[in-house]
A = this chain, B = another copy of it.
Amino acid sequence: MHKEHTLTKNQQIIFDLIDKSPEPMKAYSILFNVQKKGIKAPLQVYRALDKLVEIGKIHKIESRNAFIACHNSSCQMAKATAFSICEICEKVTEISNDSLSKYLANFKDKDGMKYSKYNLEFFGLCKKCKVK
């Protein structure tokens, strides 16, 4: 469950845009789309993105430098994220799987080190792209 945060004006504008996008959005595409709402500079976008990532409302897809809204109630504050990425159509889905998240949250390396955070990206072909 996400802690509730009151988003600021810029954060809300940018979150709404990402949230209604069917694909991950890149920062400068976001910028282009919100210029009519008065957000003119890259830094305004990046600041909002940083905050939204920090509070877990969006996630960054590291391999794509792109951002998607979180629709997964089990990922807490961006500390435990997993995604599937289609290498053809670039569709990205957040994975919500108890077994996986438990396995990773409890994973210890050979020195017994436990980690406070992880990000996992799976790559393959989505259903649509597989049949083609």
Contact = CB atoms under 8 A, between A and B. Distances in A.
Contact of A114 (B87, B114, B124): B124
Interface string A102-132: 0110010111011111111111111100000
Contact of A120 (B84, B111, B118): B118
A107 B122 contact: yes
A89 interface: no
Contacts of A8: none
A3 to B, nearest CB: 20
Max chain B Cβ within 10 angstroms of own Cβ: one of A84, A107, A110, A125: A107
Given A62-B62, A84-B109, A124 B120 contact: no
Interface of A: 62-63, 84, 87, 93, 95, 97, 100, 103-104, 107, 109-111, 113-127
